Structure 1
Amino acid sequence: MIQRVVLALFSLVFILSCNEVKTPKKPDDFINKDKMTDILYDISLMRALKTYSVNDMLALGLQPDSYIYKKYDIDSLQLAKSIDYYSVNFNEYTAIWEEVGERLTAQRDALQFKQNELDSIRLQESKSKRDSIERAAKFKKLKEKSSNTPANDSILAPVSS
């Protein structure tokens, strides 16, 4: 009996505590959807670059956070508040991330196409070099064959005086 009362009180407290979920208000310096999409796209690229080549970033003197803030003329608090607001508005936030994902996929596909194009050019150049090497080898064999003719062949032997 006591267990049921405790369970009922616990359930009541749990239900009542969930009713007052505070959602963040739209910030005064709110970042609009298009700009936020661009920012999140650049942040994704920076994170990829950071995991791929930290040394190159350091060599270029590139600081990802300050680069984003300077490029979009925002500060960290403005970005954090806008992300908080969007994260509560699930449909908008999901749409933004879907757009970012599409842009990243398009960028990846474009780079892959360019890489495949460069690979095919290199393959063609390599094949041309191999063909010219093979032709040179055949020519060399023919030349050696013609210079190794027997001395008693009067047609090909040089005339001595």
Structure 2
Amino acid sequence: MKKNIVYSVFIIVLVGFSCQNLNKVSKPENLIAEDKMIEILTDIAFVKAAKGSYKKVFDIEKINPEAYILEKHGIDSLVFADNNNWYTSQLDKYEEIFTKVKSNLEVSKVKFEKLKKEEDSLKKIEDSIKRAKNNLKDDKILPEDLDELESIRKELIDVEKENAVKKRSSSNSLSGKKKQ
């Protein structure tokens, strides 16, 4: 008999908990637009990566990167937390947001790698010019120096052509935007 009572109480409690209404996160009063949320989360990802690489600098300078990002976007930390909670409760939207954040990070990575490659190329040219100047100061112009100077000249011409193409394509895209 006691077993039946215990089982009955257990079942009643179990049914009571299963019927319980889960609190849904309500939409915040100051809802941050999806695009703005993407920008904020992208910036936060960049800052967290920087903080991982330059932790000492952040500690020495007493920089709070998350607070900086929120201040940059004019958002209070409480507003951000409320919005983040709401977006996380909207799983489909949050997944879309993070897909866009990931895409932004990938685009930035490609841009960074391209700039790094150009920077390395320019550094190589500068080093070659410096070596050539040093050889000229020593009045020792060797045939390989002439070859090196010729290759530098060709590289500079290629860089100038590339910059001209970039300028043309960016001015074309700007004029296309003005027409719209």
TM-score (norm 2): 0.60
Contact between 2:40 and 2:70, CA under 8 Å: does it hold in 1?
A: no
Contact between 2:135 and 2:141, CA under 8 Å: does it hold in 1?
A: yes
Matched position secondary structure for 2:57: helix
Shift of 1:124: 3.4
Matched position secondary structure for 2:29: coil
The match for 1:159 is: none
Q: Does residue 32 of structure 1 match 2:72? A: no
Q: 1:73–1:129: structure 2 CA closer, same or farther, 3 Å change rule?
A: closer
Cα offsets for 1:87-125 (capped at 9, x unmatched):
111111111111111111111111100111111222334
Q: Distance in 1 between matches of 2:31 and 2:109?
A: 30
Contact between 2:87 and 2:93, CA under 8 Å: does it hold in 1?
A: yes
The 5 Å alignment of 1:77-116 reads 77-116=78-117
Runs of 5+ unmatched residues, structure 2:
144-180
The farther-off stretch of 121-130 and 98-107 is 121-130
Q: Distance in 1 between matches of 2:108 and 2:60?
A: 24
Contact between 2:67 and 2:77, CA under 8 Å: does it hold in 1?
A: no
Q: Distance in 2 between matches of 1:18 and 1:84?
A: 24
The match for 1:63 is: 64
Q: Distance in 1 between matches of 2:16 and 2:104?
A: 42
Shift of 1:41: 0.9
Q: 1:18–1:134: structure 2 CA closer, same or farther, 3 Å change rule?
A: farther
TM-score (norm 1): 0.66
Relative CO higher for 1 or 2, CA cutoff 8 Å, sep ≥ 6?
A: 1
Q: 1:18–1:108: structure 2 CA closer, same or farther, 3 Å change rule?
A: farther
Letter matched to residue 36 of structure 1: M
Q: Distance in 2 between matches of 1:43 and 1:62?
A: 14
Equivalent pairs counted in the alignment come to: 133
Please say which structure displays the higher CA radius of gyration.
Answer: 1
Q: 1:34–1:18: structure 2 CA closer, same or farther, 3 Å change rule?
A: farther
Runs of 5+ unmatched residues, structure 1:
140-161
Matched position secondary structure for 1:29: coil
The structure carrying a bigger helix percent of its residues is: 2
